[in-house]
Chain A
Amino acid sequence: MKKWLQRIAIAVATLALLAFALTPTGQAPSRYPPPDAIFCFLAAIVVRRPTLMPTYMVVGIGLLCDIVLFRPIGLWTLALLGATEFLRGKIENIRGLPFIFEWMVVSAAFLGALAAYFAVLTIFLTQQSELGLFLMHYLATVIAYPVFVGAANVVFRVRKLHPSEEGRHAESHN
């Protein structure tokens, strides 16, 4: 029951992030693209409490963002799914290690997702974007990640599991 409440809280927080992204604040294209807040948030949760961010929730959130932000439908969701599944597999490896390792793994996951996304877009000839913009977006997201981790810690009390408490949360999650 508590898990469901937490899941709903996380879903609402993600929607709030999306609403914030949708807020019109002038339409000038920025030279410094903003970080992918939703990716940061999802990754921070998945690394800490994978059971609170089940696969179908990742898919739902991804699809909603794809639709509302006028992206090719389903493609970024696939990338997001790949990245979060990759992170799920790496949870054991980074448990108990300093934050810097988690940061590296999440950065690698985001790079993979972004690279795959643009590779597919280029193959299907739907868009070509400047490499500089791509890199700036990547860097912005990597730099922003610790902020989202802090927020997740403070707001949702989701700290990384200690090895001794894994049994309690290890039940299958979908």
Chain B
Amino acid sequence: METRHSIRDPKANARPRPTARGIVLALCVAVLVLLFAAWRFDNPRVESLRTKFIDAILPSFEIGIEPGRLAWKFFGSIENFSRLVERNEELNLELTQMQEWREIAHNLERQNANLRRLLGVSAAAPHYSISASVIADSSSPFRQSFLISAGRENGIVDGWAVTDGLGLVGRISGVGNSTSRVIQITDPNSRIPVRLDSGNRAILLGDNSHSPILDMIERVDDIELNDRVLTSGDGKVFPAETFVGFVVKDAKNRFRVRPSANFRDLQFVRVIRVFPAEPIDGPGELIVESAQPLQPVNSEAAAISGN
């Protein structure tokens, strides 16, 4: 190091007092530590700033994302091309099967409608959905989330459920003006209250694998493989009766859920709007209160069954 050729050697006389470089470095470290501290201790505020920032810069990123998407599509189409005939046969086979299923579905629908009419049941409170496309994949190896092309302007609210038509994909977490972020059910931070066919309740826990874990199962003995798993709506913001998938068992004998949503090819999603049921917090006005000591209806139960 001492045998340098340059005369103005920046390191030679840098030892005693801090260099400009050292000061910049220290400043950077200090700012970063402060940012991390702010993120850790005032999370909601920093996260909302983050959402605003992403909302502002994402359109400019789409210039870059579009070629990337084309490139991926190109590689995908080469693969498809090479097995075109094979694929065609597969699809024809599937089509005939689907036609069969369609008949069954029509029949069931008719039957269902008849039975409903007989029972005089009114269907559950309507929840409409907002469609959006997946615009960016913000997953890293340890996080599973993506951004969709609908935000506050489209009426999206934090916490709503996101499906792809086949099954639950995740929930909204972070809403910007024109984009919002969806945390997938496979993310390690995802916790979804679910209900099984057997009436069992459990929590669905993401762990970065394709099939989330069923945790805190109410009655483990009652659980059966291939049980259907639906959201239970216990979280109040989350709609009940959204289909998630089927129960499977992994190599370690833990119960997991194989999601029926098609994560592999996720382009469009539907955000399910939830209208909170009107809480019933007292007896109706027709009833004279002193005449009948009526227990007020539990508003929580009403909210769950109303969804």
B-binding residues in A (CB < 8 A) = 15-16, 18-31, 33-34, 55-56, 59, 63, 67-75, 77-78, 81, 85, 92, 124, 126-130, 133-134, 136-137, 166-167, 170-174
Partner among B10, B40, B140 whose Cβ is within 8 Å of the Cβ of A172:
B10
Is B241 part of the binding interface, using a Cβ–Cβ cutoff of 8 Å?
A: no
Name B140-157 residues within 8 Å CB distance of A: 140-146
8 A-B pairs with least C-beta separation: A19-B64, A33-B141, A23-B68, A74-B35, A74-B36, A28-B263, A74-B32, A24-B137
Cα separation A29 to B183 with both chains bound (whole Å): 12
Q: List 25 A-B contacts (CB under 8 A).
A: A15-B64, A18-B64, A19-B61, A19-B63, A19-B65, A19-B67, A24-B65, A24-B69, A27-B134, A29-B184, A63-B35, A67-B50, A69-B139, A70-B138, A71-B140, A71-B143, A74-B33, A74-B36, A77-B32, A78-B36, A129-B188, A133-B141, A134-B142, A136-B141, A167-B6
Cα separation A92 to B11 with both chains bound (whole Å): 13
Interface hub of B33, B137, B267 (most chain A Cβ within 10 A): B137
We find that the number of chain B residues with CB closer than 8 angstroms to chain A is 65
A-binding residues in B (CB < 8 A) = 1, 4-6, 8-10, 19-21, 24-25, 28-29, 31-36, 38-40, 46, 50, 53-54, 57, 61, 63-65, 67-69, 71-72, 134-146, 169, 181, 184, 186, 188-189, 207-210, 263-267
Partner among B34, B53, B208, B263 whose Cβ is within 8 Å of the Cβ of A26:
B263
Closest residue of chain A to B136 (Cβ to Cβ) is A22
